[in-house]
Amino acid sequence: GARQWIPREQITDPERSKAMGLPPGLDFHTKGELAAQILADAFADGVRFDFVCGDEVYGSCTGLRRFLEQHEQAHVLRVPSTFMITLAPGLRLTCAQAVRRLLKDHRRWEVRSAGKGSKGERWYAWAYLATASPRHHLLIRRHLKSGELAFHWCYVPEGRPPARTRLIRAAGLRWPVEECFELAKDCFGLDQCQARLYTAILRHLVLVMAALAVCAVAAAKLRDRTDGRACAP
């Protein structure tokens, strides 16, 4: 699924809107709201996900988080250091404050891989904080050399164990997503459209997404056949 994000000023300015060929009555939506629309379409088709993941643009969207929880959809979303969490009744801190207060002991951190990248395994130190809600958790990633922190707001529906291994694996999925975007841009021209009108850009986007889908299915089938031969006695 995909949606074209259009800046508010382009939609609200009549002259720019007309020049771009935007359809009349088009409403502005944030990226988080567009993500909720894509997910709503997927849910309507009967598609469910192990986890929904996203960067701070999506983690900071209250509406998207509420939508996911209403549909009992597990998620691991990046949030800024200023994101407020309730650790216990009456104890409300930012993510950065929680780390400084509760994670001083190095034994609270463990080194695990976030998955393979272009240079092999991506090793980070990880810590985990429970919150006042049994369904919400804060996962913190620390870079081993720079000490830079990244915060992930996690929601796990009732009946599913909040296994740290699964949350870390989900948090590490951003790298393969970036690789998919790189493939789409370099091999399929996702970012090489010279069109400037709304309809023309949408047509280009649909064609690229369709080509990607066909190639993804073909590659998966080829991989399955190759694995089958490798395992045959």
Residue whose tokens read 């060929």: 21
Structure tokens at 226: 């190759």
Residue 227, pLDDT score: 65
Question: Each residue of 5-44: pLDDT tens digit?
Answer: 999 999 999 999 999 999 988 999 999 999 999 999 999 9
Domain boundaries, the chain: 1-47, 51-59+72-172, 188-233
CA neighbours within 13 Å on the CB side: how many for 127?
Answer: 22
| Calpha distance 127→143 (Å, rounded) | 12
Beta bridge partners of 149: 142
Task: Tell me the whole-structure pTM to 2 decimals.
Answer: 0.85
Running DSSP on this structure, what letter comes out for residue 108? Answer: G
User: How would you write the pLDDT of the chain (233 residues) with one tens digit per residue?
Assistant: 788 899 999 999 999 999 999 998 899 999 999 999 999 999 999 999 999 999 999 999 999 999 999 999 999 999 999 999 999 999 999 999 999 999 999 999 999 998 887 778 899 999 999 999 999 999 999 999 999 999 999 999 988 877 888 999 999 887 778 888 888 888 888 888 888 899 998 899 899 989 998 998 998 888 887 765 544 43
pLDDT at 183: 86
* 230 Rama class: left (phi>0) / alpha (psi -120 to 50) / beta: alpha
- Listing DSSP states for 33-44 in one string gives HHHHHHHHHHHH
Q: Which two tokens stand for residue 84?
A: 């407020």
Q: Find the length of the chain.
A: 233
End-to-end CA distance of the chain: 40
Token readout for 7 is 């800046």
Rounded CA Rg of the chain:
21
- DSSP, collapsed to helix, strand or coil, labels residue 189 as coil
> What is the model's pLDDT at position 156?
95
Q: What is the pLDDT of residue 77?
A: 96
